[in-house]
Amino acid sequence: MESISSTWILNNESKTHVVNSKISGSFSISIRVVERTLVRSPSGHEFLAKQKLVAERNEAAVEIPYIFLAGEEICRGYIANVFTKAKFEGWTQHLIVPKISRDAISMSRRLGEKGIKGFLLEADVEIVQERWLDNWLNPRDYDSQDRLIPVEQDCTICLEELSLGGQTKIMKLCCSHNFHRDCILTWLKRKHSCPTCRDDVQNPRPQKEVESLMFC
């Protein structure tokens, strides 16, 4: 019998540029919200059943006056207010605002030591909701010891072996290609296609429903 659980993951990459400006700092942000459904067998092996882009937003550079870079609490309040006026949802703010405020304050202090004031913080954020279906199993994908049988000998991302006896988890995509779990999830932060066949993970080729291929 399956159980369902959900987790939220925040992937954030920030780049900072020194700018010729009289203001102390500014930030711009690009946000993507992704839903990902994964199936996990009793042995812990995983299958990426579905991934889709739920929302995407871009916000142009917003000034952070120097007075709001004095401490994390006041900076967080200012950025949260900016997000509220821009109609960002509350749960999005809760995940993103603390990171942006910490990065902005840190950069302001580092540049201030060099006598530099103006900077632009570019935040590239991906919010992933992972929905797990546990205790599902497709017997055709496993050997007699319930170990995932990879079709490929090597992970085409890192080019290392997909070892059955290793500690590294293997994840299978809808197109049936297998990769190291960490490799493919890192890949999917930037691309939405299978590294091997280029099948679109968010809109895979027609196939039977996952539920029809699996049983408890």
User: How confident is the model over 116-163, as pLDDT tens digits?
Assistant: 878 888 888 888 888 888 766 565 566 666 665 656 788 999 999 887
**Could you give phi then psi for residue 95, rounded to 5 degrees?**
-80, -35
Distance CA(185)–CA(60), nearest Å, equals 28
Helices and strands in the chain: count of H runs, count of E runs: 4, 6
Say what angle helices 90-112 and 72-85 make with each other, to 10 degrees: 130
- Tens of pLDDT along 40-56? 776 667 888 888 888 88
Q: Which helix (H) or strand (E) holds 84?
A: helix 72-85
Burial of 76 (0-12, 13-18, 19+ CB in 10 A): buried
What pLDDT is attached to residue 131? 86
What is the pLDDT of the chain when averaged over all its residues?
A: 80
Q: Where are the domains of the chain?
A: 3-130
Distance CA(173)–CA(154), nearest Å, equals 15
- Measured CA angle at 193 (ends 153, 133), to 5 deg: 80
In single-letter form, the type of residue at position 106 comes to S
Whether the pLDDT of residue 86 is over 80: the answer is: yes
Beta carbons of 136 and 39 less than 8 angstroms apart = yes
- Tens of pLDDT along 23-42? 678 888 888 888 888 887 76
- Tens of pLDDT along 151-209? 678 899 999 988 766 667 888 888 888 899 899 988 988 888 999 999 888 877 665 44
* Ramachandran quadrant class, 204 (left: phi over 0; alpha: psi -120 to 50; beta: rest): beta
Count other C-beta atoms under 10 Å from residue 167's C-beta: 5
Alpha helices in 86-216, H assignment, sequence order = 90-112, 181-187, 210-213
Q: Which helix (H) or strand (E) holds 8?
A: strand 3-18
pTM assigned to the model: 0.65
Distance CA(119)–CA(113), nearest Å, equals 13
Residue listed under structure tokens 């902005």:
104
Instruction: Name the least confident of 13-17, 39-43, 47-51, 78-82.
Output: 39-43
